Amino acid sequence: MTAVTAPALVVVGSINLDLVVRCAALPRPGQTVTGDDLAEHGGGKGANQAVAAARLGARTTLIGRVGGDGAGQRLRAGLASEGVAVPDDLVSAEASSGTAIIAVERGGENHILLVPGANALLTPADVERHAARIRSARVLLLQLEIPTATVIAAARIAQAAGVKVLLDPAPAPTHFDPALYHVDLLSPNRSEAEALVGRALPTITDVAEAGRELMARGAGAVVITLGADGAMLCADGKTLHLPTFPVHAVDATAAGDAFKAALALRWAEGASLEDAVRFALAAGALAASRPGAQPSLPRRSEVDALLATHIASALTPT
């Protein structure tokens, strides 16, 4: 994909330094577990999704804040090296950069402790200053690791300009502002969907009902990710359960971010939501098969190759 035809995506979200500890098993409350190793990576849902989108071929801008510390400088340099444009005026000299401490067990499950830092200082005024960038995008991608008022302000700028809005409601807040439902595409994971509807969703039928309920609250369409069970698409009065791609899971930390970025990209390219979800499932599966957050994010050629292999396998007689 060339720079001329690549769709423009804008991400408004968090930028974190990830400190990743690998261990045999995640600690239980009150338990001390010895880790295998410690690694430092760029992270944050906003930054992860921006890097994922750039690697998949989008012209990507990230509107997010870092602190005036060494970590902030490294994080901005890392984003620039991935081809992600970050406005120069979004550095909070008085704050530390956001930090996530992530414990990952060998099976791929993880626990995350997040310190927002400068992410908490991203304001509606910040997105208003960069409204022209949002208006030029095909899709605006949002998450909830920044203040809710800032998320809503960015969505309203996009909606007024006819730009599609995809909201990843993660982490699920204790109070979910009703205005957040009114986006073109809402994409929680299963636990976030459970928090939004206020009940457990043990079966695929329950997930489909939750998707329809979220649409009734204002979402134009809903995609609920289900980990190894794939994803549920609810759109145009229909529900569709799509299976994932079988991989050996190593680290699920950024699988959801890879999924959301891939979903946004294919949607921006004009694909149907069904095709976009299939593409996103392939991207998420690849990310889960590798360690780290941003280091695990796949390139477009890798996703296309997995999709092609899957299609070829399905067509091969048994």
Q: Look up residue 220 and give its two tokens.
A: 């134009």
Q: How far apart are the first and last CA of the chain?
A: 35
Catalytic residue among 18, 126, 184, 257: 257
C-alpha to C-alpha distance for 19 and 293, rounded to whole angstroms: 10
Residues whose CB is less than 8 angstroms from the CB of residue 258 and which lie 6 or more positions away in sequence, other chains included: 48, 52, 280, 283, 284, 286, 287, 296, 297, 298
Alpha helices for 29-185 (secondary structure H): 45-56, 70-81, 124-129, 131-135, 148-160
The helix or strand, by DSSP H or E, that contains position 62, with its residue range, turns out to be strand 59-63
User: What is the sign, positive or negative, of the torsion defined by CA atoms of 51, 53, 55, 58?
Assistant: negative
> Does residue 36 carry a catalytic annotation?
no
CB 46 within 8 A of CB 11: yes
Q: Are strands 185-186 and 164-167 parallel, antiparallel or unpaired?
A: parallel
User: What is the sign, positive or negative, of the torsion defined by CA atoms of 305, 297, 105, 38?
Assistant: positive
Buried b (16+ CB within 10 A) or exposed e, 211-220: bebbbeeebb
- For residue 256, give Cα distances in angstroms to 177, 259, 287: 22, 5, 9
Which residues partner with 40 through β-bridges?
19
Catalytic residues: 257
